[in-house]
Structure 1
Amino acid sequence: MAYDNNEKKMESIYSKRIRAGKRRTYFFDVRATRGNDYYLTITESRKRFNDNGYDRHKIFLYKEDFNKFLKALTEAVDHVKTQLMPDFDFDAYNHDEVEGEDHSDDVNVELSTPVHSAEISVSSPVAAPSSDEVDKW
């Protein structure tokens, strides 16, 4: 188990990295609490233009909010795709990482201040999926 400043560092049980351009990376990490409960951290890491550091923003998402979060995210993305940009080819961006890309500067760092999950409110005229559809995800 890793320790950082005499505190237990929470290690990921599952991790998924998404490269988004040359300077931005998203991390999806599943972590466990001391009571063997699970939560998700979503981190956006952006390389700074003026130095070699990174700006990081993190969301902590707890199991009781998974369905609400996913529903709101889906509604917001669908609204952009169907109402705001119906002619845009979003599939043009469905490509994997390019072989030979240098990923040596990718870093996933824990923030020392915990952030609590918040409910998300989306107001859009797009019909929301039923709770049965959300539960299938």
Structure 2
Amino acid sequence: MAYDNNEKKMESIYSKRIRAGKRRTYFFDVRATRGNDYYLTITESRKRFNDNGYDRHKIFLYKEDFNKFIKALTEAVDHVKTQLMPDFDFDAFNHDDVEGMEGEIDEVAAEVEIPNTDTAPSASSSSSTEEVDKW
């Protein structure tokens, strides 16, 4: 565990980041209690418009509420998709946020051979494709 100013900081055991637009990022972090129990923190981080830092909002979700939370979230999302916006193409947003990540992509591209996407993949480029999929 990390210590900062003699205060115990809880480290993430697992973390997943989701970029949502240019100014928002969501973090899903699994953390452990002192008694080796686990809970989830969900953090929304929004860049301030004046580029002076971030606003963060955090939810703590404990194991006894996981199933209720997932059920309620699924029901709410399904209601929007089926009742309120049935004609909207939600699948159009099933892609990674590439905009704003040019520096990260350039760093990875320097280390991994990226196959040419203008042509169909050949058998020789399958290992390169697998490398890219590991990102």
TM-score computed with the length of structure 2 as normaliser: 0.73
Runs (4+) of structure 1 exceeding 2 A deviation are: none
1:103 to 1:19, Cα distance in 2 relative to 1, 3 A: farther
1:34 and 2:19 are equivalent in the alignment: no
* Structure 2 residue aligned with 1:58: 58
Q: Distance in 2 between matches of 1:22 and 1:67?
A: 31
* Structure 1 residue aligned with 2:77: 77
Q: Which has the higher contact order (CA 8 A, sep 6+)?
A: 1
Q: After superposition, what is the alpha-carbon deviation per residue over 1:50-70, rounded to whole angstroms, capped at 9, x for unaligned?
A: 132000000000000000000
1:103 to 1:53, Cα distance in 2 relative to 1, 3 A: farther
Point out where structure 1 has 5 or more consecutive residues left out of the alignment. 105-137
Query: Secondary structure of the equivalent of 1:25?
Result: strand
* Structure 2 residue aligned with 1:86: 86
CA RMSD of aligned residues (A): 1.7
Matched letter for residue 92 of structure 2: A
Point out where structure 2 has 5 or more consecutive residues left out of the alignment. 105-135
Greater percentage in helix: 2
Displacement of 1:102 in angstroms is 5.5
1:67 and 2:67 are equivalent in the alignment: yes
Matched letter for residue 33 of structure 2: T
2:28–2:43 contact (8 Å) kept in structure 1: yes
1:55 to 1:99, Cα distance in 2 relative to 1, 3 A: closer
Displacement of 1:100 in angstroms is 6.6
Query: Secondary structure of the equivalent of 2:96?
Result: coil
Q: Distance in 1 between matches of 2:8 and 2:103?
A: 27
Query: Secondary structure of the equivalent of 1:97?
Result: coil
2:20–2:97 contact (8 Å) kept in structure 1: no
1:10 and 2:14 are equivalent in the alignment: no
Q: Distance in 2 between matches of 1:49 and 1:55?
A: 10
Q: Percent identity over the alignment?
A: 93
Q: Distance in 2 between matches of 1:52 and 1:78?
A: 36
2:42–2:60 contact (8 Å) kept in structure 1: yes
Q: Distance in 1 between matches of 2:38 and 2:81?
A: 32
